[in-house]
Structure 1
Amino acid sequence: MSDNVPRDSTALADSTALADLTTMRVGGPARQLLRPSTEDELMENVRAVWKRGDEWLLIGGGSNMVISDEGFDGTVVHIVTRGIQVTSQDAESLHIRVQAGESWDGLVRRIVARGWAGIEALSGIPGSVGAAPIQNIGAYGQEVASALEGIDFLDYDSGELVHLSTADLNLGYRSSVIKSGRVGLVVAVYLALTASPTSTVQYQQLASALGVSIGDQVPVQQVRDTVLALRASKAMVLDPNEPDSASCGSFFTNPIVPENIARALPSDAPRWVIDDEPVADVAVPLGETPALPPAPKQRMVKLSAAWLIEHSGVKKGFRLPGSRAAVSSKHSLAIVNRTGANAAEVSELSRYIAARVLGEHGIRLQPEPVAVGVELT
C-alpha cells in the first residue's frame, strides 16, 4: 500500500469551504479534501491518511457537525460511496447491505415505496447511512437499533475491515461504542426489514397526527408522509426554501437524569421513566421473617430539552444581539443559520442556551452535533 493518496480519488484545493458540506452551512477550508468514489478507494484513502499520521476528519451528509471558521488543518474525507445490495430475502423479511454514503432519507423512501417496514418513522432525518448507527438515530418511537444487524467497520488500531454486530456496537440513546471512543470508519450498514404494509405506531405525537392510538397499525407510506409533515412543521427537513432548515436538526439531546432531579421540575415538564423495573414478588414460609428488601434503585428519567430551553427564557426565534445565528422560529431545539452566520456565532448561542438551562434548572445540556475546533458548551 502506498503512502500517497491514490490518483483516482478526487483531491480538492485548500480553498474548499467545509460549510458547503454541512447542513449548518458553517466551516472554513480544509487543507486537503478527498472524495473517493468506491469502497475500495475509500478504505485505501483512509488507510493512507492514517499511515501518514495526518490529522483527519470524516464527513458524510454533514448534518450533525459544527466546524470552526478556521476550517480543518488536515485531511477531510468526504464519504460519497453509494450502493444497496440485497443479502437475503424471503416472503417475510429483507436483509440489505447499504454503503455508508447513501442518503438516509433516500433509503427510507425506497424501502417504504416497496412495502417494507422497520425504518419508516425515521423519515426525513438528514445525513448519510453511515452516520445512522454512530448516533443510533431515532424519532417518533423508532431507533435504527431496532432494524440494525451490524456494520462493516475499518478499524483504526488494526487497519483491518471488521464486521461489528448490533450487540458489539452497544447502542443506547444517541450513543454507540463508536461515538464513545472506538475509532474508525463505517464502510457499510446491514439492516433487516419486515415485509409488512403497515407499521405499529409507538409515539403519541405521531399517533395524534394520524388520528389513531398507540399500538394501532397504519400503512407504512402514511406513517412516512405524516412524519415528514410533522418534521416540516418544525423546519426539521432540508428545504432550500425554508429559512429555518439550515441547521443540525435537534441541537441538544434530551437529558437523562435521576428521578429525584426530575421531581424538582414543575409538574408540567415532560418526562419519561426509561428504566422502570418491576419489583419481583417474594414467597416467605409462614412463621419466618422475610429479609429486608434491597434498597430501591434510583430510576432514570428522560426530560425534554426543548421544554427546558423554552422555560429558561429562550424562546423560539431568539438571537443574541448582533448575531446571525438564531433559535428556530418553529422548534426551540434547533439552532439555525438564516443569514450567513459563522461557527463562532453558532457556538456562542449554543453556550448561552446551555448556561441559561443550567442556571435556571441545574441541568446540563449536551450538544448533539460533533464539534470540530469549536466549543459548544
Structure 2
Amino acid sequence: MPLDTLDALVRSNFTSLDGVTIDHTSFAQLTTLHLGGTPAATIRCATTRAVVDVVTLLDAHNIPLIIVGGGSNLVVADGELPVVAVVLECDAIAIDTTTGLVEVEAGAVWDHVVDLCVEQGLGGLECLSGIPGSAGATPVQNVGAYGVEISDLLTEVELYHRDSGKREWVAAADLELAYRYSNLKFTARAVVLAIRLQLYTDGLSAPIRFGELARSLNLPQSEAEARTNPRTVREAVLQLRGMKGMVYDENDHDTWSAGSFFTNPIVSAEQAETVRALVRTTFDDDTARRMPCFDVGDQRKLSAAWLIDRAGFSKGYPHEGAARLSTKHTLALTNRGNATTQDLVALAQEIRDGVEQKFGVRLHPEPVWIGVSID
C-alpha cells in the first residue's frame, strides 16, 4: 500500500479515537539509537484503552504496525517504512506501600518507576536502575542487570491478544521467562498494556549477587547475597552504569545505543572449555583462568563484552566510524551522531563474525530488528 494511501487511511479512521494523536515522527526521534526512517504515521496512545482501539483497527485494516515504548531496544531500517508506529504514552503508576504491590502501565518510563518505588521505601527494583525504555518492554525480554531480573519481581502482565481480541491479566509464569527471553519476544501475538510487581516492604534491597556491585557498596565477601538500603544500591548502580555509558544522555553519543547489543552467550560446558583452551593458546594461562564463565544449570554463560574485547574490538572501535563501539563499554554499539542504520548493521556483523572466527562462539543481538537484519 502506498505511503500516502496508508496515511490517509490512518487519519480517516483514527483521529476521532479518544486518547489518540497522530503525527509523522521518525524512528530516529523515537529510538535511543537515533536511527531509523519515517513510518507512514505515528499514533500516540495516552491510555491503555486507546492502545487496544488503535491496534484493533490497524489489524482490521491489515495495516502493519510497530509498538514503541521508550525505543531503547529497536534497530529500524533507514528510509520510508510502510508501517505505523504505535507509541505507548499510557503511564499510570499505582503503588501500595503496605503490601508492596505495584501496577504500572506500559508506557511509563522505566527508570521513573524504579525511582518512585525506591522513594516510597520499596525494595527489589534498585538493581534495574538506569535501564532506558518503558515498563511494558521489561517482561518481553526479561530485562535484567546486576544480578536481578524482572522475573524475580513480576507477578502478572496485562495483555491484549491480537488474534482473539481478548484483554486479560496473565500470570508471569505463563511467559516462560528465561535469560533475556519470554514467549512474547520476537512475536507480535500480544501487546503488553501493564505489569504488576511484588516488591519488598521491609526497607531492604534485593539480595546483592553481582560482585562488581557488592564491591562498590563495600559489602564483605562473607555477606553473600546481602541486602541493604535500596537508595544506596540505586545510586551505586547509576554510577556504575554511567561509567559504562549505559545511562541515556541525549548530549552524550556514547549513550546513543540500544544498551547491551549482544546477549551473553550460553554454551555447553564442553564448548566453554574449548573457548578457554583457545584463550590460553592465544593469550596465556592467567587470561584463560580469569575468563568469565558462569554456571547456568549444566551449561555455561560467557561474557559477550569480554569476548568482543579479546577478539580485538577495543572501546571506541573503529574510532573513525559513524557507528562505533562505546568508548566506555565494548557491549554497546553507538551512533556517533551521523550514522545510518546500515552503518550500525555493518559494525554489528563485523563484531559478530570476528568473535566467531576467533573463539567459535556466535553472538546474538538483543534488540528487535525492524525492516533490516544482521544476517
Q: Do the structures match in fold with TM over 0.5?
A: yes
C-alpha contact 1:149 1:166 (8 A) present in aligned 2: yes
The 2-side partners of 1:205 and 1:254 are apart by: 17
Task: Tell me the residue number matched to 1:173.
Answer: 179
In the TM superposition, residue 215 of structure 1 has moved relative to its aligned partner by 2.1
Unaligned runs of 5+ in 1: 276-298
Q: CA deviation at 1:85?
A: 2.4
Q: In structure 2, how many angstroms separate the alpha carbons of the residues matched to 1:89 and 1:128? A: 22
Per-residue deviation, 1:37? 1.4
Contact 1:6 1:41 in 2 (8 A): no
Q: Is the 8 A contact 1:17 1:71 kept in 2?
A: no
Quote the offset at 1:71 in angstroms.
4.2
The answer for the alignment partner of 1:334 in structure 2 is 332
Bigger Cα displacement from structure 2, 96-105 vs 173-182 = 173-182
- The CA deviation at 1:160 is 1.0
- Local SS of the residue matching 2:13: coil
The residue that corresponds to 1:5 in the other structure is 14
The corresponding residue for 1:205 is 212
Structure 1 229/32 Cα, relative in aligned 2: closer, same or farther at 3 Å? same
Contact 1:136 1:143 in 2 (8 A): yes
**Quick one: distance in 2 between partners of 1:218 and 1:149?**
23
Task: Select 1:65's aligned residue among 57, 66, 74.
Answer: 74
Structure 1 residue 184: Cα displacement: 1.4
| Identity rate, percent | 36
1:312 has 2:311 as partner: yes
d(CA) in 2 for partners of 1:353 and 1:158?
Answer: 41
Contact 2:126 2:233 (8 Å CA) reproduced:
yes
Separation (CA, whole Å) in 1 of partners of 2:103 and 2:250: 31
Q: Larger helix proportion, structure 1 or 2?
A: 2
Q: Which has the larger radius of gyration?
A: 1
Determine which of 47, 51, 61 is the counterpart of 1:52.
61
TM superposition outliers: structure 1 runs of 4+ over 4 Å: none
1:32, distance to aligned residue in structure 2 (A):
1.3
TM-score by length of 1: 0.89
- 1:153 aligns to what? 159
2:46 partner amino acid: S
Q: Is the 8 A contact 1:24 1:246 kept in 2?
A: yes
SS at match of 1:117: coil
Which residue of the other structure, out of 365, 368, 372, is the alignment partner of 1:370? Answer: 368
Report the secondary structure of 2:140's partner residue: helix
CA 1:42–1:20: 2 relative to 1, 3 Å: same
How far apart are the structure 1 equivalents of 2:247 and 2:274?
A: 34
Q: What letter corresponds to residue 179 of structure 1 in structure 2?
A: K
Contact 1:6-1:45 within 8 A present in 2 as well: no
Three-state SS of the structure 1 residue aligned to 2:253 is coil
Per the TM alignment, residue 216 of structure 1 is displaced from its structure 2 partner at its CA by: 2.2
Q: What's the CA shift for 1:190?
A: 0.6
- Does the residue aligned with 1:353 lie in a helix, a strand or coil? helix
8 Å Cα contact 2:159/2:169 also seen in 1: yes
- Correspondent of 1:29 among 38, 42, 51: 38
Instruction: Indicate if the aligned counterparts of 1:320 and 1:349 stay in contact, CA closer than 8 A.
Output: no
Residue 120 (structure 2) aligns with: 114
Q: Following the alignment from structure 1 to structure 2, what is the Cα–Cα distance between the partners of residues 96 and 60?
A: 19
Structure 1: how far apart are the matches of 2:246 and 2:125? 17
The Cα RMSD (Å) is: 1.6
Identify the match of residue 97 of structure 1 among 84, 99, 103.
103
Query: How far is the alpha carbon of 1:320 from its aligned partner?
Result: 7.5
Provide the C-alpha distance between the structure 1 equivalents of 2:185 and 2:40, rounded to a whole number of angstroms.
25
Q: Tell me what 1:250 maps to.
A: 260
